[in-house]
Chains A and B, each alone.
Chain A
Amino acid sequence: MTKPLTGAQIMCEALIREGVEVMFGIPGGAIMPFYYAMWDYRDRLRHVLCRHEQGAGHAAEGYARATGKIGVCIGTSGPGATNLVTPIADAMMDSTPLLAITGQVGSHVLGKDAFQETDITGITMPITKHNYLVKNVDELAYVFKEAIYIATTGRPGPVLIDITKDAMQKTTVPNWDIKLNLPGYKPTYQGNRRQIREAIKLLINAKKPLILAGHGIIMAGAHRELQEFAERLRIPVITTLHGIGAIPENHPLCIGMPGMHGWVHVNRAIQECDVLFNIGGRFDDRVTGKASTFAPHARIIHVDIDPSEIGKNVRVDVPIVGDARLVLQALLEDLPPPSELAELHTHASDWMEHIREMQDKHQGKQQYKNRAAMANMALPPHDVYEALSRTLNARGNYRVVTDVGQHQMWAAQLIDWNHGPRTHITSGGAGTMGFAVPAALGVAIACPNETVWAIVGDGGFQMTNQEMATIVQEGLKNIKVAVINNGYLGMVRQWQELFENKRYSGTPLSGPNFAKLAEAYGWKGLTVERSEDVQDAIDEAYATDGPVLIDFRVEREVNVFPMVPQNKSIGEMILSETQA
């Protein structure tokens, strides 16, 4: 191609070449040349106008998390760029491939406090996998190629490209054939074979082995390999918050979620196990509790694509750097034949029996059954989740996006996640309230034939609910929002109740009538105040050809149990209020 293009046109062409189809953003002065060029590409590059750049960023994250493809968000210079900071940090913590494109003031006024100038590359340096300030139109084609490569390979993450207005306006003949020059970036995909054999040796000689499946399984698309490996050795599988979907929860080997709000039997199993095989998880402190007391009897095998994660939080006996899927394939290849695994299988069934006994003893009390404490409540939150779980599993074809807080933990605990990877999407590492509604927007665009549920607390909902307008403008009908409305910033209130003598400082929260608010946006809005109306409302949401919000006015002061207090061993769980 010898035709000269403007920088902005090169940006559009580069995105199309990298397979980008959708972008979420808001225009402004410095990014206007990009929007000018975008108009000519609108049949191939869909632009979704969000109501706040934070919403655009989370929508791009939702799109990326649902598909595994890169999510793209756009903001102008200054406040447009700084509003993207939260989703960028969120994407960094949750290893989400995100490309943030920001306009910057003209290169001649750079650093002179020009109108809407902010040093966004400086601001985002610690929260991006990499970032760029482009002042020269000749660099654009190369930078976009390199940026998307970095964002989507190895351990994925956010990359920001800040482009001066003049670089978008100038013209050049783009060179698309420049080879990537990244001598300092060579992700390791294949696990070390010797370490893999070492891992197998540990696992087949274990009496109480456990697999801890993390986000890496989902991102690498390694769920089939994981299931096969677990089945061949008959090892129980734990799924972290981001590992939900790595193995169906109705699989006989899946035992559930560990950690701060994990199940008692899972945490106890970790404390008892003799080999812990973590694949694609990063031993987050919400999983380990007090790290020095974590899995005290276990030899630990840790597979991670990011070498800096290995040994960061817990000691590791067998480190394997590599892609979860390729490592599991190698493990499967090197497994001894079933005839040699008989002894292991005997131990495995004893071990599993022991775990299931603990599960029978504890989990039901926390779930739906035997909830004596909730007998007099008009609408305990658990009833909402019970109905949602039943409905989602009966109807299938869903994605669920959750926000941050009590409702998020209940969703992880109380919904039976049987429908595979990428069906449960949440803000984990960063814990970003306000994630759910805009992320659901991105998921709904990525999955137009599925029903996308956003489950969100009344606190998080009020942070980003203006994206309801975007959802209407885009004509998205496959979004249903369940507000778990308890009139508090509930998780903080729970900590205040349990550890601060019910000093409810800054947690009681009012809101508008959410159903009416939804109606004002052109949605259908429903309000549910009694358990017996929950299922009807969910059915009505499904029957409605358009976005629906259900305001579930749940009992206000219900706590998430079980719970491990911060910095305590996961062996010390609180099971009810009286224990705190």
Chain B
Amino acid sequence: MKKHTIVALLQDRPGVLSRVIGLIRRRGYNIESLAVGHSETPGVSRITIVVESEDVEQVVKQLYRLIEVLKVSDVTDDPTVEREMTMLKLHAPPAVRHEIISMCSVFGARIVDVGSNTMIIEMTGTPAKVENFIEVVRPYGIKEMMRTGRIAMVRGARGHNASEYVEPTTNGAAVPALN
């Protein structure tokens, strides 16, 4: 099955993430990666989901049925910039630290903590590059690893600007932020 990257803008209301995930779960698709956070527009969240699915068009259409979903796109075949971040806690006794440090500089990774026998390394890049880096440092001994979900943004003018979906309230009455 092909991996698809879906980008969606959501109204920031309680439960909205659960609705989106539930809809994908219902069809038995596995979510490989998920990242969610604020967009540039207050009240609008943006998510990137990577999902293995045969019929992503139907998933996209059904996501639109959710009341709080503003925009959904399958950007798999679009020109995008994709990034992912990882933090790794490596087994790093003094003897190998120099090697690790030089490896980090090749990959543009940063050392964010050094303990007596460990180092925490932060690395950001395309998912492939992150994968690559992990394989390179794996022989030193990965004690812990954490990867954020992938985030994706379409290149150029076309994209997912959220402001067009938010209408300014005209009659002065504030719309209650539900909870």
B81: Cβ under 8 A from any A Cβ? no
Which of chain A's residues 97-135 have a Cβ closer than 8 Å to chain B?
121-122, 125-126, 129-130, 132-133, 135
Number of A-B contacts (CB under 8 A): 70
Contact A136 B173 (CB under 8 A): no
The residue of chain B having its C-beta at the shortest distance from the C-beta of A129 within the complex is B67
A339: Cβ under 8 A from any B Cβ? no
Q: Contacts A138-B176, A308-B61; is A184 near B18 (CB within 8 Å)?
A: no
B65: Cβ under 8 A from any A Cβ? yes
Looking at A136, A175, A179, A184, the one whose CB has the most chain B CB atoms below 10 A away is A184
CA distance A307 to B57 in the complex (A): 11
Partner of A308, one of B62, B167, B173: B62
Contact with A along B53-88 (1 / 0, CB 8 A): 000011001101111111000000000000000000
CA distance A150 to B26 in the complex (A): 22
Looking at B11, B64, B178, the one whose CB has the most chain A CB atoms below 10 A away is B178
Contact A150 B67 (CB under 8 A): yes
Contact B70 A183 (CB under 8 A): yes
A1: Cβ under 8 A from any B Cβ? no
> B68: which A residues are within 8 A, CB to CB?
184
The residue of chain B having its C-beta at the shortest distance from the C-beta of A135 within the complex is B179
CA distance A130 to B176 in the complex (A): 17
> B11: which A residues are within 8 A, CB to CB?
183-184
> A177: which B residues are within 8 A, CB to CB?
171, 173
> B15: which A residues are within 8 A, CB to CB?
121, 125, 133
The residue of chain B having its C-beta at the shortest distance from the C-beta of A143 within the complex is B178
Contact A306 B65 (CB under 8 A): yes
Contact A125 B19 (CB under 8 A): yes
CA distance A184 to B165 in the complex (A): 8
B136: Cβ under 8 A from any A Cβ? no
Contact A136 B26 (CB under 8 A): no
Question: Least Cβ distance of A305 to chain B in Å?
Answer: 11
Which of chain A's residues 300-351 have a Cβ closer than 8 Å to chain B?
306-308, 310-312
Which of chain A's residues 153-188 have a Cβ closer than 8 Å to chain B?
175, 177-179, 181-185
CA distance A177 to B69 in the complex (A): 24
Partner of A139, one of B61, B165, B178: B178
Contact with B along A391-428 (1 / 0, CB 8 A): 00000000000000000000000000000000000000
> B171: which A residues are within 8 A, CB to CB?
177, 179
> A181: which B residues are within 8 A, CB to CB?
167, 169, 175
B166: Cβ under 8 A from any A Cβ? yes
Looking at A126, A142, A181, the one whose CB has the most chain B CB atoms below 10 A away is A181
> A150: which B residues are within 8 A, CB to CB?
67
CA distance A464 to B57 in the complex (A): 40
Contact B165 A183 (CB under 8 A): yes
Q: Contacts A126-B22, A139-B178, A178-B175; is A307 near B61 (CB within 8 Å)?
A: yes
CA distance A396 to B179 in the complex (A): 52
Question: Least Cβ distance of B8 to chain A in Å?
Answer: 10
CA distance A282 to B14 in the complex (A): 31
Contact A178 B173 (CB under 8 A): yes
> A139: which B residues are within 8 A, CB to CB?
176, 178-179
CA distance A178 to B167 in the complex (A): 13
B105: Cβ under 8 A from any A Cβ? no
B116: Cβ under 8 A from any A Cβ? no
Q: Contacts A177-B171, A184-B165; is A142 near B176 (CB within 8 Å)?
A: yes
B23: Cβ under 8 A from any A Cβ? yes
Contact B64 A308 (CB under 8 A): yes
- A and B contact pairs by CB, cutoff 8 A, 13 listed: A125-B19, A133-B179, A135-B179, A136-B179, A138-B176, A142-B176, A183-B70, A183-B165, A184-B70, A306-B65, A308-B62, A311-B57, A312-B58
Further contacts, 11 of them, CB under 8 A, given A139-B178, A183-B167, A310-B61 = A125-B18, A126-B26, A129-B67, A138-B176, A142-B176, A178-B175, A181-B169, A183-B11, A184-B10, A184-B66, A308-B64
Interface residues of B (CB under 8 A from A): 10-11, 14-15, 18-19, 22-23, 26, 57-58, 61-62, 64-70, 165-167, 169-171, 173, 175-176, 178-179
